[in-house]
Structure 1
């Protein structure tokens, strides 16, 4: 059987193949310290586990659930956006739960992109934006981000591009992998850019509560709902990555367009998962304070490790990663492989996020502090 043509230009996700290599080293007895992926190692809130367990005995819990999610969950999303982002959402029409925001990337692309349409994708940026665009036979068009510009879009450079075929633009703030945050003015400019060129702006926003004192939503910008969709997730902010729970918010028109795809792809989210997610969204700020205290302590140790490796971290980074420039004269892949095979430490090379990520590596904060301390000891021996 011959694979579909759409797979010809789509590679296996880097971490899928690299982690097999890491597991093989572990199986051979290597004590690998994994600082590569952003999979939270901390437990979800106890209230969430309680709600999940309670949901198992709820009447109808094991039946198909509404395609748009339970009203309780959608109300919780709307309340959460109002409380933390000062954004008003109609829970009936302007938000929908997702089985992880990664699902939303595919659904949005299927809903809005035709073969040959162009998609603006940040470089560096999340590799899935590119792979999904190729899967739906759209053409990626990269816009460069750099340290000198604080990893923010250069609107003058964007204006010089031929945008006639561009239908969608991916943005991601706080940014992964660099940790850069967008200002209110940048979000305002993105909305204006989308309106001027009739481009759907999609902000991927899973990191806004991790080591960030000022969480923002692009939907707060005036007129944003007309041209903006925003993805959000409980994976990072509530340590629920394996639950696969996210949400998509925007105008009724754009949400309904995505639902045409989504309702043909699943039959609703398991009720207890929605009950747990609802409980998570109702928590107060003390939850974020508690996990950020842990991440801040880990961050201090990672910066010590980076210094021992002669890597230079960027400034003012939000999220659960530390983005660092590697020493001159070494590629990111070479540097990462040397760390892996000489010190049994795994980190993410910057090149996987685009050619503008070359020369950098990304450390994850998703490991216990004693593991980071052990990594420091190995490097300093």
Structure 2
């Protein structure tokens, strides 16, 4: 969806369809079941849900052009994080408990973004422009935050002694959640105020002087953004039932649900990041990609932790050994990739290979 020119019909049509669909299943008290009618409902639900997510990101982009960078990218990230928390919490805390979903989704987001999305953006940009530049200082802050937050939320739970197994005790989970939120808050202050220049390219500076949306279009996009986010949250329960049924039919591993949720919430940002790389604005691609990973850990884990504690649900966070190896490899490769300020196609291919290994090991562990 383009943020320039008249608003595309899909930007308001999908949120409207999502609200209508939710009203329909609520009034009829519809319960999804694997059947021909159920498959039709699942197809309609997925199309409307994906369209509504894209609509939400479109309206966030319209607002983002008004407030400028890096606030615009931050708004996009926060909008997608709201969708992510809703989907994870609904599935994980539903009738069929899935205590590992938050872990699987966060890990999938990190692997998809830091390897799949970053790899494609660098490869596409390298093929088109040979090399691309970005702010090393900003990338280093992203990676430093990711390394610390991923370690204390996804690796450390395997090695604590208060409770056996890959999860924190209530006190540990509360402490880690508070630390995570504080760190993310300080990062936002650094990104938007203290060192804003670390995250802005010359292209973004020029774009800040472009005529932003104002008046009626801005108010309309703000209202439709809120409606889109609410619609996704309301349909999250039905989506969780479709995911459970689909995974049972194809015999998918438990981590499949986490990958599916991650793909749903990352698709709009991925399109925006890829478009930025094609336009030779790799800095915006990095902001979108690494920013979404950071928000996933910094905001999603504490939010899901509060929900799990309130509803007395078990929250498993610790990764298995092979997943820890992939996570460490990802951070080492990312530090080398973003350590010089210039990228080429080989870096992109390396990230894509690690992503392929991740996907393969999900189905062939």
Give the alignment's TM-score, normalised by structure 1. Answer: 0.29
**More strand by percentage:** 1
**More helix by percentage:** 2
Give the alignment's TM-score, normalised by structure 2. Answer: 0.30
